Structure 1
């Protein structure tokens, strides 16, 4: 008779999710300050997306690999916890080094390393909830993660502002140098990242593979069964691969022939299509030789074998994360130029605006703490679809309103709406998804689900620069408007997701 996975206490769930606060310290410092560091080191905001693309590409590669490995790992430290710990150590070191980068390209390289390390630590945390909690508690587990994401991001996003206004540390530096307030914020964030993850590693024990196999929830049920239990044939892979490579090649040629009228960042889109086609051709080559017992082949096959609910959620995620990447890239340049009228990174006015962006990021993350508490109540009085639609609509309208608000103090109001959208994005899709997946492959499917977070970010990096420079006359605030429209579309797409109620 299958064993029932026992419910965990509130404090056990607290401990297992506490490390996410440290992970969000790293992400929040990165999201709120890396554009500032890039501009300080001489980057033009027109090229900002190209520099930022390292982060989503890293996640695209790292997360499914780590998910696959963590599904198959078991040792003295458990299944997921080794990845928590070593990723946190590497990310903390990267946070210490990042604000001391002497040149722009070293800073871009550190972003790559930092984001890869954060992803190593973060990806198994999503699967960890599915491992440790019975189905009825998973929504609480993801809500707890959202709570710690909000707490960590609130403090981390405002750290440079706090350093300046609470501790009288200078937020201005000579041209080409990162202000002391930003450097100290990164040092503090690195320490908190490692210590918070260490708390989860030391306070939580994992179920062994044998125990997980014995639990009733470890077996696929209902909608959790995979769409394609039979592997794709070599012919299917080859046809798909050749099609996508042809599309990427044609697009690249069109961009090259019209580069004076287009934007060079569009090459990222063509390159992504070529890479997707090449991956399928490699999978087809391996399938033709019956060499599919490897991580690469299994990840690619699982990509085409997703449950229906996961495929529908992928569309929602795509349109939800496009505006978030637009926000992380362009909010600093949008607020400093549109609301403060400053573009000189060494000026007092520019740095006041950049500090205010950190506060605005704290507002949306702080709001997400409250929203994480309210979302279960919203679901109770409506349902998951309507709740997610409502929250995404708040976020979309918030982004669009940046164009019409003149006083930067009033930007706090739309960031409240963004906070509700953020909390919903971090909890509702995962609550739906975790109940549609077999626990034995929770890690790899969570990693694949990250594709639909990363792909819109790569698309944003590819096309937003073109829209801002060639269509909107170099005004980055319009990147936020485009993001707002995308988020409204995501809300509407939520209505078609098939939900397996628990």
Structure 2
């Protein structure tokens, strides 16, 4: 028993909602630093305010993945989360550019990112649920295409409104320009329509059919399907010992920060370490009491039982997303200061630079949409790992070019490389991962995989401001150099990944 192959139009419908999701994500990435600076935030404090995005992802995505694996109703398994997440995200997009104060803006960012995560997380599992193995690469490539095209529109909206429709892109000090506000309104409306298109044009397999597909796949591989909770998992002593160690280290880091009066952002790092320890302690105590039939215990157990391929990909994801987060936070202040000579957020020069960054972000997302068609060809002629490494190197060189190129118009060249990296980051790891995780746990493992996206973002939000202030005299452009180095490290780490599908591909090519 196998899943039915879907037509290209059916795959299009299934992925079209990602077009809307990425509009919200793109508006956030290109404009949040601008909004925060307009409301009075200093450049070296931007990173800590951006902590909302990864912090909410760290909590929300595993929860949504776990819940969506176990959901079934009138709208199916994943689509209820698309539906309600889109409504909440649209509301947040309408509130964000009207924030009268920094604290309201920061709160709106938390709500916006939580809502985007509710909508976005099940989309990755959606492809694994609905497509047979041979069509999953097409599904993830289609998602990358819509991510790219949606982000192009989102990134360019303020520039389009200013230069084509003559909407004001400056405002009195402390106020958000009309071009940004209207862009958020339009983006929210398109996001809602796009996600609803996927919700109401796509169907899902019911739980009994999914179970039958998993059984048939396991039989073909000569494997047994384990019942829920049948695997032994991690022992109580390991949980308690590991939890105690991580908690002590986290508390020691916090004490060190306090004693040496380092930047307060480092308390976030201490909290992450200690929080991981406390989670293990709680899981161990619950297991000792034989109270493991709960979502928390299952999520922690699955985290420690993740496949080897997922652990190897975690390293690649860590450095890839550290580089991306450096770019998203610091491109606007970096380009405005380094290429336009402006740090005053109310000046015409600063806002011209910020608008141009929106265009640059649109360029890399546009390139990503086109690269989604080319990268599979590179992968077929080499391998998925080689193709991903090539794209990451191109991204690293693209970010490094911002320090070398002084003509802001030529920065477009660097964004071509970033576009290839972004497209590959959005597809290659998921294509490799989907073949190594159990079908019935696709949602939770996609959610847990997000840990290795948000943890580097949290570290970036914690450390980048301190690094810039300490070593680079607060010059934001050097955050892009650090991002470039991170991309190059990720490219090297790709070759340590065991791709389960690579031997099959090579055997097929040889025959």
Q: State whether TM-score is above 0.5.
A: yes
Q: Equivalent residue for 2:8?
A: 10
Give the distance between the partners of 2:224 and 2:134, measured in 1 at CA.
15
Q: Equivalent residue for 1:258?
A: 260
Equivalences for residues 14-413 of structure 1 within 5 A: 14-216=12-214, 219=217, 229-259=231-261, 262-413=262-413
Structure 1 gap segments, 5+ residues each = none
Give the distance between the partners of 1:113 and 1:70, measured in 2 at CA.
20
Give the distance between the partners of 1:229 and 1:293, measured in 2 at CA.
13
CA gap 1:223/1:91 in 2 versus in 1, 3 angstroms: farther
Give the distance between the partners of 2:466 and 2:223, measured in 1 at CA.
41
State whether residues 224 and 438 of structure 1, in contact with CA within 8 Å, keep that contact through their aligned partners in structure 2: no
Provide the alpha-carbon RMSD of the alignment: 1.5
Shift of residue 398, structure 1, vs aligned partner: 1.1
What CA deviation, in whole Å up to 9, does each residue of 1:436-474 have, x standing for no partner?
111100000000000000000011111111110011111
Give the distance between the partners of 1:126 and 1:189, measured in 2 at CA.
22
CA gap 1:406/1:483 in 2 versus in 1, 3 angstroms: same
Structure 2 gap segments, 5+ residues each = 505-511
Give the distance between the partners of 2:485 and 2:223, measured in 1 at CA.
31
State whether residues 223 and 308 of structure 1, in contact with CA within 8 Å, keep that contact through their aligned partners in structure 2: no
State whether residues 212 and 218 of structure 1, in contact with CA within 8 Å, keep that contact through their aligned partners in structure 2: no
Give the match's secondary structure for 2:496: coil
Give the distance between the partners of 2:423 and 2:224, measured in 1 at CA.
24
Give the match's secondary structure for 1:167: coil
Give the distance between the partners of 2:357 and 2:224, measured in 1 at CA.
41
State whether residues 229 and 305 of structure 1, in contact with CA within 8 Å, keep that contact through their aligned partners in structure 2: no
Give the match's secondary structure for 1:354: helix
Shift of residue 263, structure 1, vs aligned partner: 2.2
CA gap 1:363/1:222 in 2 versus in 1, 3 angstroms: farther
State whether residues 240 and 284 of structure 2, in contact with CA within 8 Å, keep that contact through their aligned partners in structure 1: yes
Give the distance between the partners of 2:462 and 2:424, measured in 1 at CA.
26
State whether residues 242 and 281 of structure 1, in contact with CA within 8 Å, keep that contact through their aligned partners in structure 2: yes
Give the match's secondary structure for 1:412: helix
State whether residues 215 and 225 of structure 2, in contact with CA within 8 Å, keep that contact through their aligned partners in structure 1: no
Give the distance between the partners of 1:16 and 1:324, measured in 2 at CA.
27
Shift of residue 248, structure 1, vs aligned partner: 1.0
Give the distance between the partners of 2:75 and 2:180, measured in 1 at CA.
35
CA gap 1:319/1:437 in 2 versus in 1, 3 angstroms: same
Give the distance between the partners of 2:471 and 2:267, measured in 1 at CA.
18
Shift of residue 216, structure 1, vs aligned partner: 4.7
Give the distance between the partners of 1:464 and 1:224, measured in 2 at CA.
47
- Tell me the number of residue pairs that the alignment of Structure 1 and Structure 2 aligns: 497
Give the distance between the partners of 2:433 and 2:14, measured in 1 at CA.
20
Shift of residue 250, structure 1, vs aligned partner: 1.3
Give the distance between the partners of 2:335 and 2:127, measured in 1 at CA.
37
Q: Equivalent residue for 2:508?
A: none
Give the distance between the partners of 2:487 and 2:35, measured in 1 at CA.
28
What CA deviation, in whole Å up to 9, does each residue of 1:367-388 have, x standing for no partner?
0011000011101111111101
Shift of residue 264, structure 1, vs aligned partner: 2.1
State whether residues 388 and 424 of structure 2, in contact with CA within 8 Å, keep that contact through their aligned partners in structure 1: yes
- In the superposition, the TM-score normalised over structure 2's length comes to 0.95
Give the distance between the partners of 1:217 and 1:166, measured in 2 at CA.
56
State whether residues 395 and 487 of structure 1, in contact with CA within 8 Å, keep that contact through their aligned partners in structure 2: yes
Give the match's secondary structure for 1:402: helix
Q: Equivalent residue for 1:483?
A: 483
Give the match's secondary structure for 1:230: coil
Give the match's secondary structure for 1:495: helix
State whether residues 99 and 182 of structure 1, in contact with CA within 8 Å, keep that contact through their aligned partners in structure 2: yes
What CA deviation, in whole Å up to 9, does each residue of 1:95-143 have, x standing for no partner?
0110000000100000000000000000000000000000110010000
Of stretches 263-272 and 77-86 in structure 1, the one that deviates more from structure 2 is 263-272
CA gap 1:77/1:493 in 2 versus in 1, 3 angstroms: same
CA gap 1:479/1:217 in 2 versus in 1, 3 angstroms: farther
State whether residues 316 and 493 of structure 2, in contact with CA within 8 Å, keep that contact through their aligned partners in structure 1: yes
